Amino acid sequence: MKLKGLLLRYYPPGIMLEYEKSGELRTKSIDLLNLSSSTDVNALVEEIQKAEPLITASRSDLVKLLIQRLQDKLRQHSNHKFYLFKVLRAHILPLTNVALNKSGSCFITGSYDRTCKVWDTASGEELHTLEGHRNVVYAIAFNNPYGDKIATGSFDKTCKLWSVETGKCYHTFRGHTAEIVCLSFNPQSTLVATGSMDTTAKLWDIQSGEEVFTLTGHSAEIISLSFNTSGKRIITGSFDHTVAVWEADTGRKVYTLIGHCAEISSALSNWDCSLIVTGSMDKTCMLWDATNGKCVATLTGHDDEILDSCFDYTGKLIATASADGTARVFSAATRKCITKLEGHEGEISKISFNPQGNHILTGSADKTARIWDAQTGQCLQVLEGHTDEIFSCAFNYKGNIIITGSKDNTCRIWR
């Protein structure tokens, strides 16, 4: 939504303000972590206005509208049953990754066949094949919440930037000396960061196609990379057992999170950028204070490697997925385990919350994905049909579409 000099975006679980100040684009997030379906919207907007000078009286109606829309999303009945909508045999060679755009209207698949394909979710039709890489296309992403660009990272050591609309390649980013295995856009969609087996991460300017910084300091492969929600920090996880936090605008390393005693599998921050969670092959997750890099808790209980971990959109809950076939939900405040998700018969490699935060999605080597109640740990639904392990599964932003990717070479759309 555009207002003179101010852009408002819904960016769960809050509102992102974008505005120009002395010719420079600035962003600011207003969190709505405590918003519920019964919140008094008028009182909340008054509170926001007091704290946020950018929300003038003339703009408050627009903010009200956005918050009411958010409330509607929260009210959407939480007993939704997903059904199989489409099976897509996406590529001849194995899939590497799948990703949805914000609305869920289209999604992308990466493959060993050296391409990335863009699909229309509603029809299951292929919109574009993005060709040009000379090796496996491994890491793929949309520049959400905008969704007009795609980045692909390849074993050919390059990253390419593409137009969603035309399928045309804008830039090829060259500079890594080994495979690119992870990548991420910053929330403002001005930068792409790539992580490589060459132990470095690089930042690239989307407009010019130029390299901005190389982040050097890890002593082994970087396999996890993310921006925090403000876009000011980059978090990299490495096979060297450490996680590094970097300043996006200078490339300076802020600190290194040292404590795990095996490879890192995931590392990311919560919505308000106050905490970082890291998962490791050492069977633990660690929780870190993002302001000073100090460890505030070690989350234990799994009997095998942690393969994935995540925060819910409010940052109040942490979910962990393990090779032991179980997942767990912890409270970020008390650091205690709230519930265990038991039922899978193989390792769980992917875990995520729906945007409302009441359900959890897991994907497993047992060929199923499951939906769980985040508070009780009850399994609400088993998504069956894949004939080999599921390595990727995701909700769209509304939480009403799920996509699963499997080693059986199909993607399934559930809605």
pLDDT, tens digit (0-9, with 9 covering 90-100), for 312-364: 988 999 999 999 999 999 999 999 999 999 999 999 999 999 998 999 999 99
In the chain, the largest separation of any two C-alpha atoms, in whole Å, equals: 57
Sign of torsion, CA 96 372 184 117? positive
Cα distance between residue 296 and residue 235, in whole Å: 17
pLDDT score, position 74:
65
pLDDT score, position 342:
98
Q: Where in the chain is the domain with CATH 2.130.10.10?
A: 84-414
Cα distance between residue 199 and residue 221, in whole Å: 4
pLDDT > 80? residue 409: yes
Neighbours of 218 (CB within 10 A): 25
Q: Give the residue carrying structure tokens 């209980």.
A: 301
Greater model confidence, 83 or 79: 83
pLDDT, average across residues 40-56: 84
- DSSP secondary structure of 270-337: -TTSSEEEEEETTS-EEEEETTTTEEEEEE---SS-EEEEEE-TTSSEEEEEETTS-EEEEETTT--E
pLDDT score, position 72:
74
Q: Which two tokens stand for residue 46?
A: 């008054």
pLDDT, average across residues 98-107: 94
- For the domain covering 84-414, report its CATH number: 2.130.10.10
pLDDT score, position 26:
75
pLDDT, average across residues 176-186: 98
Q: Considering the chain, what percentage of its residues have pLDDT values greater than 90?
A: 79
- pLDDT tens digits, residue range 16-26? 777 777 777 77
pLDDT score, position 196:
98
pLDDT > 80? residue 75: no
Q: What is the CA radius of gyration of the chain?
A: 20
pLDDT band at 53 (very low <50, low <70, confident <90, very high): confident
- Omega before 13 within 30 of 0, i.e. cis: yes
pLDDT score, position 90:
85
pLDDT > 80? residue 123: yes
Q: Considering the chain, what percentage of its residues have pLDDT values greater than 70?
A: 94
Cα distance between residue 415 and residue 396, in whole Å: 10
pLDDT > 60? residue 1: no
pLDDT score, position 5:
60
- Share the mean pLDDT of the chain: 92
pLDDT score, position 351:
98
